[in-house]
Amino acid sequence: MTTSAFPVIRLKPKSDPRPLRRGAPWVYANELVLDRRTKALEPGALALLEDGERRPLALVGVNPNSKIAARVLDRDTDASIDDAWFVARLTRALALRTRLFDAPYYRLVHAEADGLPGVIIDRFGDAAVIQPNAAWADRLIEPLTRALVAVTGVTTVLKNASGRGRALEGLDETDAVLHGAAPDAPLPVPMNGATYMADLTGGQKTGLFYDQRPNHAFAARLGQGQQVLDVFSHVGGFALAALAGGAAQALAVDGSAPALALAGQGADAMGAGDRFATRQGDAFDVLAALGEEGARFGLVVCDPPAFAPAKPALEAGLRAYERVARLAAALVDEDGYLVLCSCSHAADLSAFTGACLRGIGRAGRRAQLIHTGGAGPDHPRLPQLAESGYLKALFFRL
């Protein structure tokens, strides 16, 4: 029988432990023996996970109230999950980013793929924003913060509690300043030659989406000298990159007035304000209105929020992607380019591509698929976790 400083939880006798031994990071509630003792564990408690034969598998963070009942933290069952442990994980994550990027603007920790399940950390120079989207990380936020400051030297650490994952874990939505002082103005972030303004306290998620960086760059090449339309633009994602790459004009469309105001500030900061315009409104309505106005663009990009964040929403989500593709394709010049993106976990590449092609066909257009993009290398994928490869960007020539 195993002797452990941690409480012990166990797989059901018929639950196969081999995926966990091969690197799977999650244990679902229906795979565990959820006896009275296990159900009594507090969300975020650390435990020793055993297989059905009582052989140790890993140290895990437990949440008996979540569909993901346990998340693998360390396969060394003698490990101590303390400041030194966090320092080691963050040091390894930082080494990859400093090799990839010349400036400290990137996703520093991408959850399971960086060995910190449920944890997102985005870095903005001397500031960092943590999204602790799992109960174990929320419970250990103080040693995580200390290690982050020690490893990176950042002077500000903020907690963003808006992640959808926190609701699934039963966690609160209370943001906090964990170290230093919150910035009193949006921070300029250089990326692909453009300047983005990141609102770390009032913006969406952590303030900026780094995952589209390589797709911004690819699209910018297609937009050289062109009229560019960026729909679901947020703070100017594709539009500002296109302007930095030599686009003639860019129009950013979004439902959020504050996001478009930040996009305008970014355009001004990079000296491109005279080539940039915004249009606030529902994206579907604006796409339809532009079509009725006879507007045409050499490059159209649509990067919507997740229409299919989970399997129950898949069918409706695919219909929404098809509709976006139909409305957007009608606005593209002959031999122009259409970029369609999805960040939906539930819609895999094949399903998303099919929806896009149906929409393009319904618009009476024919397409060449010239490139398929994903998230940048600061968003590494864990091969054993399909959800870590969520982003898809399809580049069409029409």
Residue 2 has pLDDT above 60, yes or no: no
Q: Name the residue among 146, 143, 132 with its Cα closest to residue 43.
A: 132
Q: What is the pLDDT of residue 389?
A: 83
Q: Name the residue among 237, 231, 234 with its Cα closest to residue 214.
A: 237
pLDDT category at 387 given cuts 50, 70, 90 is confident
Burial of 296 (0-12, 13-18, 19+ CB in 10 A): middle
Asked if residue 131 lies in contact with residue 206, where contact means CB atoms within 8 angstroms, the answer is yes
Within 270-377, residue ranges assigned H as helices are: 283-293, 314-329, 349-362
d(CA 74, CA 46): 11
Taking only the tens place, the pLDDT of each residue in 276-323 is 999 999 999 999 999 999 999 999 999 999 998 888 999 999 999 999
Q: Would you call 343 a catalytic residue per the annotation? A: yes
Quick count: other Cβ atoms within 10 Å of Cβ 235? 29
Over 122-151, what HEC string results? EEECCEEEEEECCHHHHHCHHHHHHHHHHH
Instruction: Measure the CA angle with vertex 347, ends 137 and 239; round to 5°.
Output: 85
Enter the pTM of the model.
0.94
Percent of the chain with pLDDT over 90: 91
Q: Is 8-74 a domain of CATH 3.90.45.10?
A: no
d(CA 364, CA 287): 16
Taking only the tens place, the pLDDT of each residue in 29-48 is 999 999 999 999 999 999 99
The Cα-based distances of 236 to 25, 51, 164 in angstroms read: 35, 49, 23
Asked if residue 8 lies in contact with residue 55, where contact means CB atoms within 8 angstroms, the answer is no
Mean pLDDT value across the chain: 95
Catalytic member of 302, 341, 343, 356: 343
* Paired sense of beta strands 332-342 and 176-179, if any: unpaired
- In the numeric block, the tokens 């930082």 are attached to 94
- Topology of the domain covering 190-397: Rossmann fold (3.40.50)
Q: Mean pLDDT, to the nearest integer, of 351-371?
A: 98
**Domains in the chain: boundaries:** 8-74, 83-179, 190-397
Taking only the tens place, the pLDDT of each residue in 197-248 is 999 998 777 889 999 999 999 999 999 999 999 999 999 999 999 999 999 9
E strands of the chain, at which residues? 8-10, 26-28, 46-50, 56-62, 68-74, 105-110, 119-124, 127-132, 156-159, 176-179, 187-191, 194-198, 227-231, 249-254, 276-280, 297-302, 332-342, 368-373, 392-397
Q: What is the pLDDT of residue 1?
A: 42
Q: What is the pLDDT of residue 3?
A: 54
The Cα-based distances of 288 to 35, 74, 199, 256, 283 in angstroms read: 55, 51, 30, 18, 9
- Topology of the domain covering 83-179: Transcription Regulator spoIIAA (3.30.750)
Residue 343 has pLDDT above 60, yes or no: yes
- In the numeric block, the tokens 């010049």 are attached to 333
Taking only the tens place, the pLDDT of each residue in 61-70 is 999 999 999 9
